[in-house]
Amino acid sequence: VYDWEYKDFGLAERKTEKRVIIWNFDKVLVQLLFEKDPGNRFIVITEGFKSVMRVAQAGISTVVGLLGSHLSEEQLALFVKLGVPQPTFLLMLDNNEAGRRGQYFAAKKLLKVVPTVQVVEYAAAQPSDLQPSAVIDALLGARPASAWLGEQAAATHH
């Protein structure tokens, strides 16, 4: 819910604390808890709810949205508490300056506390602009975040 929507719904105005919310996390958490094959656990992390819906339309139900390009400490703590084995985290933030910056810092944060993080790259502006088959292709091409971070660091030093 956007801040302005509270009034539209006849509710008192308030500020949505996005840093403590992971959109669709409640459904993904339940799914992971009852996963029959715990060795094949993964979560796609996007920025917003439209991208979550597009990834889900591609057949991937373990997808969440940060409600922005920044992974907060509160959101990180929720990811860490998912249990053992930890899922693979696939970062698929928006393909713009804020999204790439957010993806860089999210990858660094996640790699400090979880074993497997991958980065998903694609040609569109955001995942919601992709056709479902292109979402799958992008996810299949995900790369280890450690290598991606190294490339980003090298590119900024040239």
Question: Do β-strands 42-46 and 63-65 pair in parallel, antiparallel, or remain unpaired?
Answer: parallel
> How much is the pLDDT for 118?
98
Cβ within 8 Å of residue 107, ≥6 positions away: 91, 117, 119, 145, 148, 149
Asked if pLDDT for residue 151 goes beyond 80, the answer is yes
Asked if pLDDT for residue 3 goes beyond 70, the answer is yes
- Mean pLDDT along residues 2-24: 83
User: Which of 17 and 93 is assigned the larger pLDDT?
Assistant: 93
Strand ranges inside 1-158, DSSP E: 42-46, 63-65, 88-91, 117-119, 143-144
CA pair distance 120, 88, nearest whole angstrom:
12
User: Which of 80 and 124 is assigned the larger pLDDT?
Assistant: 124
Asked if pLDDT for residue 40 goes beyond 90, the answer is no
Compute the mean pLDDT over every residue in the chain, rounded to the nearest whole number: 90
User: Which of 52 and 153 is assigned the larger pLDDT?
Assistant: 52
User: Which of 25 and 154 is assigned the larger pLDDT?
Assistant: 25
